[in-house]
Chain A
Amino acid sequence: MTSAHGVTVRVEACAKTFADGTRALEPVTLDIARGETVVLLGPSGCGKTTMLRIIAGLEQPDAGGRVLFGEADVTRVPIERRNVGMVFQSYALFPNMTVADNIGYGLKIRHVGAAERKARVAELVALTGIEGLEQRRVDQLSGGQRQRVALARAVAVRPSALLLDEPLTALDAALRERLRGELDRLLRTLGITTVYVTHDQAEAMALGDRIVVMRRGAIAQTGTPREIYFAPTSRFVAEFIGAANIVEAECVAGALALPGGRLPLANGAAAGPVVAMIRPESIAVAAPDGASLTGSVDAVSFIGDRQRLTVSGAAPKPILVDAPNSIEVKPGDRVGLAVDPAAVRLLPGGPT
C-alpha cells in the first residue's frame, strides 16, 4: 500500500432542503481522514447521494453547513474548482470522444501537454486493464469497460478526493462482484481519500475502511465494517447489515427468559425488558437433552457452504440459525441451541 493521497474532508452541519420543501438531509457532520475510504450506506432516500453531491459541489448545503477540504472552506466553490474525481452511476462518459479522449479530458482542461497526457492515459489504461480500447467510441464498450473508463477518467487528474456514486449498480451480479475486487485493489493502490455511495451492504463491507450507515437523512451509525456488523447500536443498523435475530424478552438473573428456556447474557446485564440481537452464525445447534434453550425446526434451507434453519418455540418469534452443512436435521426435529453470551448484543429498547 502506498502512502495516503488527497485531502481530509470535513462535512460540517450540512443539511439539504430542496426547493419543493423536501428535506433530503438533516444537519450531519462527518470527518474523513486523508487516504481513507468511507462508504455511505443506506436504503434509497436516506440522503447518501445528497451528501456525496454536497461534498462534490453539485449541491449547496442549507445555510450554516460547511464543507472543508483540508483547511480550505470549499462550501461556495463550484465543482469544477474543487479538484475532485467523480464516477457517476450512469458513468457520464462523453459519447463524442474516444476512450483515450475521455480519460485525458481532465488533463486537457488542466493544460497538461500532449505528450505527458498521452503517457498518463496509457498509465491509467494499464491500471484499469482496458488496453486496446483506447480508440474505441464509448457506445462500443460493454458495461464493465465503461465502468473502468469512468474510473480511469476520474483518477487521471490526481484528484483531492475520489467520489463514487453507486458505480457498480448498473452491472449484473457476477460482473459486479469481480469489479468490486478490482476496485478494492485499485483504491488500496491509489490510497486516495474516497467517498463511496452504495445501497449494497456487501460492497460497503468489502470496500470501506469505515461505513456510515444512513437513514432518513441522518447518520444512524459510523464505524469499521466489523463494528457495524458485530456491534450495531440500533435495531435499524442490525437489521440492515446482514441477517439478524431481534429478540425482545425479559432479563432475569443475567439471562434472557425465553419460551424455549434461558439464554445467558454477558456479565452486567440489568434486569428488565431488553432487545437483543443475535447473528444466525453465532448460534450453535446442540442435542436437545440438557440444553438450556430448545426449539423445533420449522424449515431447513440448504445453501451449500451451510444450511439455514428456522427454529420456532425458542424465542417469541422464529429465529434463524446457520448450521454446518454436515449435520442431519429436518423440519419437525427438536434441537438445542447454544449461544456464546458475548455474541448476544443488547440494543437500545423501544420499538422501531
Chain B
Amino acid sequence: MSPMRDRLIFIAQLAFTLLVAAFLIVPAALSITAGVTVNYFRGVQSGLTLEWVVQVWELYADTILRSFAIALSTLGATLALGVPGAYSLYVRGGRLARTIEEIITLPLAIPGLAIALALLLAYGGFSDFRRSWLFILAGHVIFTLPFMVRSVIAVFAAIDVKTLDEGAASLGASPWRRFRDVIVPNARPGILAGSLMVVTLSLGEFNVTWMLSTPLTKTLPVGLADSYASMRLEVASAYTLVFFVMIIPLLVAMQVFAGWGATARPAR
C-alpha cells in the first residue's frame, strides 16, 4: 500500500475520532462535570460537590427505579411476544407473514408522539390503566418490539432455522419442543442483541413516555426534562450523571454476556 494512501486513511480516522470526541465525549464529559460543580457559571473553580446528586436522588429516585422496572418489563414482554412471533413469522413465511412483519415494523417509521396520541385516543378512557405505569409499558413494547423481531429473524436467516425446525420435527418434536430445544438455543445471539437494544431504547425513550406519563408515573428521561425545565442546570446535569452511572454498567454487562454467547457458539 502506498504511503500516500496510508496517510489519507490516517487522516480520515483522525477526523472521525475528533468528531466523535467533539460531539459525543466532550458534551457528555461537560454535562457530568456540571453535575458535580458547585456553580456551573463560575466553573470548576467554584469547587466540586455531590450535593446535586443527592438532591436528584431525593427528588427522582422513584423515576429511576420506575424506568428500570419498565425497561425490564418491556424486555420480558418483547421476549415473550417477539421470539415466538419471529419463529412463527419466519417458519410460516408467505404473504400474510410478511404483512404482519411490516405492521410490527411500522412504529419505527411513525413519530413516537403519534403512537402515544393514538394510544391515548384509544385507551385513555380506561382511567385505571391510563394512570398506571402499565400504560407506558404498552407504549414501550409497541416501540421496541420491531427491534427484537428484526434481530431474531436476522439470526434465523443466518442459521437456516427452517431446516433445523424440519430436522427436529422429523425426530418427533412438537412445535413447542422444537422452539425450546432447538430454535431458542440457536437463536441466542440474536435474542441477546435484541434484548440489549430493547433495554437501552426503553430506558432512554422520551417521546412516547412524555405523552403517556402522569406526574406520578414519570420515568428517568421525563424526569430529566422536568428537572431541566424547572431546576438548576447543575441538578439536571447531576441527573445525567446518575443516568450514566446506571446505564453504563448495564450496557457493559450485556455486551460481555453477548460476547460469551458468541464465543460459546461461534457464528459459522
A210 CB–B CB distance under 8 Å = no
- With a cutoff of 8 Å between Cβ atoms, the chain A residues found around residue B169 in the complex are 58, 78-80
Interface string of A13-32 (1 = CB under 8 A from B): 00000010000000000000
- Kindly specify which of B53-61, B104-112, B134-142, B179-187 makes contact with the partner chain: B179-187
Q: Does A95 reach chain B (CB closer than 8 Å)? A: yes
> Is the beta-carbon distance between A105 and B171 smaller than 8 angstroms?
yes
Chain A, residues 98-116, CB within 8 Å of chain B (1/0): the string is 0000000110011000000
* A282, CB-defined interface residue at 8 Å: no
Contact residue range for chain A? Answer: 20 to 34
Q: Which of B167, B172, B265 is the one whose CB lies under 8 Å from A81?
A: B172
Given contact pairs A88-B163, A109-B177, A94 touches B172 in the complex (Cβ within 8 A): no
Cβ proximity bits B146-175 to A, threshold 8 Å, 1 near / 0 not: 000000000000011001101111111110
Collect the chain A residues with CB atoms within 8 Å of residue B170's CB: 56, 79-80, 84-86, 154, 163
Which residues of chain A come closer than 8 Å to B171, judged between CB atoms?
80, 105-106, 109, 153-154, 157
Bound together, the chains give a CA A85 to CA B265 distance in angstroms of: 27
- CB 8 Å contact bits of B256-268 with A (1 = contact, 0 = none): 0000000001101
| A79 surroundings in chain B (CB, below 8 A) | 166, 169-170
Given contacts A94-B182, A109-B172, A109-B177, whether A88 and B266 have CB atoms under 8 Å apart is no
Interface membership of chain A positions 28-71, coded 1 if the CB is closer than 8 angstroms to chain B and 0 otherwise = 00000000000000000000000000001010000000000000
Number of B positions contacting A (CB below 8 A): 22
- State A62–B170 Cα separation when bound (angstroms): 21
* Closest chain A CB from B91 CB (angstroms): 12
Given A105-B181, A139-B268, A94–B168 Cβ distance below 8 Å?
yes
Minimal beta-carbon separation of A154 from chain B (angstroms): 7
B94 at the interface (CB under 8 A from A): yes
Given A80-B172, A105-B168, A105-B171: A95 and B186 within 8 A (CB)? yes
Which of chain A's residues have a CB closer than 8 A to the CB of B164? 92, 94
Given contacts A88-B166, A106-B171, contact A19 B160 (CB under 8 A): no
A96 at the interface (CB under 8 A from B): yes
Q: How far is the CB of B113 from chain A (nearest CB, A)?
A: 40
Nearest CB to that of A83 among chain B residues? B172
Whether A90 contacts B159 by the Cβ 8 Å rule is: no
Contact indicator B159/A92 (Cβ below 8 Å)? no
A190 CB, nearest partner CB in chain B, Å: 17
Contacts of B94 in A (CB 8 A): 19
Which residues of chain B are near A81, meaning CB under 8 Å? 172
Distance of A183 Cα from B172 Cα, bound (Å): 23
Complex interface bits, B101-130 against A, C-beta within 8 A gives 1, otherwise 0: 000000000000000000000000000000
Query: Does A93 lie at the interface of the complex (its beta carbon under 8 Å from any beta carbon of B)?
Result: yes
Judging by beta carbons under 8 Å apart, are B167 and A86 in contact?
yes
> Least Cβ distance of A96 to chain B in Å?
4
Within 8 Å CB of B185, what residues of A?
96
Chain A nearest Cβ from B164, distance in angstroms: 5
**B173 to A94, Cβ gap below 8 A?**
no
Chain A's closest residue to B164 (CB) is A92
> What string of 1s and 0s marks CB contacts (under 8 Å) between A136-155 and chain B?
00010000000000000110
Whether A157 contacts B172 in the complex (CB less than 8 A), given A94-B186, A96-B182, comes out as yes
* Bound-state Cα–Cα, A86 to B165, Å: 12
- What is the bound-complex CA distance between A90 and B169, given in angstroms? 15
Contact with B along A178-212 (1 / 0, CB 8 A): 00000000000000000000000000000000000
Q: List 20 A-B contacts (CB under 8 A).
A: A19-B94, A78-B169, A79-B170, A80-B172, A84-B170, A86-B166, A92-B167, A94-B164, A95-B186, A95-B265, A96-B182, A96-B185, A96-B265, A105-B171, A105-B181, A109-B171, A110-B172, A139-B268, A153-B171, A157-B172
A residues apposed to B, CB below 8 Å: 19, 56, 58, 78-81, 83-86, 88, 90-96, 105-106, 109-110, 139, 153-154, 157, 163
Known: A92-B163, A93-B167. 9 other contacts (CB 8 A): A19-B94, A56-B170, A90-B160, A91-B167, A92-B167, A95-B186, A109-B171, A154-B171, A157-B172
